Amino acid sequence: MGTAKTFMLLAALTALFMAVGYLIGGVLGMAIAFVVAAGMNVFSWWNADKIVLRMQGAKEVTPETSSPMLRTFAGDVARMAERAGLPAPRVYIIETPQPNAFATGRNPENAAVAATSGLLGSLTREEVAGVMAHELAHVQNRDTLTMTVTATIAGAIGMLANFALFFGRERAGLIGSLAIMIFAPMAAALVQMAISRSREYEADKRGAEICGNPLWLASALQKIERGARERNPAMAHMYIANPLNGRGADNLFSTHPATANRIEALRRMAAEMGVSSETADAPRRQAGPWG
């Protein structure tokens, strides 16, 4: 269902792009905007792993890494990747107290996953496994490609909208051009965020299958959201769980679903898989992150 929703949203975004492009610049204007936006986003997608990891000061975890905990962490990721039928990704650690994790890379063969020291320090080994399984699901679902395509179309719409006032009057008129300039980028952004939320739900589901226990991720999300609320809300967009989301309906202006909704979906999945409440509570009972 999540994949079907993503395709429907992409179709809606494409239709919006074609409508805006035709109103402003016709076929030629539409083609120029798409080519420019595609060029910028394809470059970012191809080099995303190098750019993001360098910006975050990430250090690769190798067999020569001195910390036994980090070697164990990398081993857990490699075993889950094998279980998912994926090549083992490169594993990185980022020294920051913010609890966070992400996946990057243009395809599964060139993927990298990273976790912060804050994530490893505040979660149990099982909860970390749930989080990293979620990131591996993003790799397997090729979500970096999906979001690159989405960003390309949304960027092209934004570019066309910027030209609306100068080149759109003949086709759309002054009022129409102003409306396009204001509302087209907003609509594109809303669809882009909806696609992102859809991919998060899909990664939660596949990640739970990879690690074998949906409630490990549910427990991790609760802890990460609680910790994030206690830290810097300006960093909300960087979290696997967005701390600024409400607990009700998913926020239209957020890239992540409401944490409460994600946890509810994971708990339903756990019940379907027959995961007991004792198994669910096990990570919380452990004394330390890797006890």
For the stretch 169-172, contacts whose Cβ atoms lie closer than 8 Å and that sit 24 or more positions apart, written own/partner, are: 171/22, 171/23, 171/24, 171/26, 172/23, 172/24
Distance CA 78, CA 10 (A): 32
- What is the reported pLDDT for 280? 47
Q: Is residue 49 a contact partner of residue 104, using CB atoms and an 8 Å limit?
A: yes
What backbone phi and psi angles, to 5 degrees, belong to 131? Answer: -65, -45
173: left (phi over 0), alpha (psi -120 to 50) or beta: left
The first and second tokens of residue 204, run together, are 């939660």
Distance CA 61, CA 53 (A): 13
Amino acid in position 69 = M
For the stretch 45-48, contacts whose Cβ atoms lie closer than 8 Å and that sit 24 or more positions apart, written own/partner, are: 45/106, 45/144, 45/145, 45/148, 46/106, 48/104, 48/105, 48/106, 48/144
> Domain segments of the chain: what residues?
2-285
Q: Give CA separation, 118 vs 68, 224, 245, in Å.
A: 17, 10, 21
- What is the reported pLDDT for 248? 57
Q: What is the pTM of this model?
A: 0.80
Segments of the chain scoring below 50 in pLDDT:
230-238, 279-280, 282-288, 291
Q: Is residue 113 a contact partner of residue 210, using CB atoms and an 8 Å limit?
A: no
- Sequence-distant (≥ 6) Cβ neighbours of residue 277 within 8 angstroms: none
Residues marked active site are found at: 135
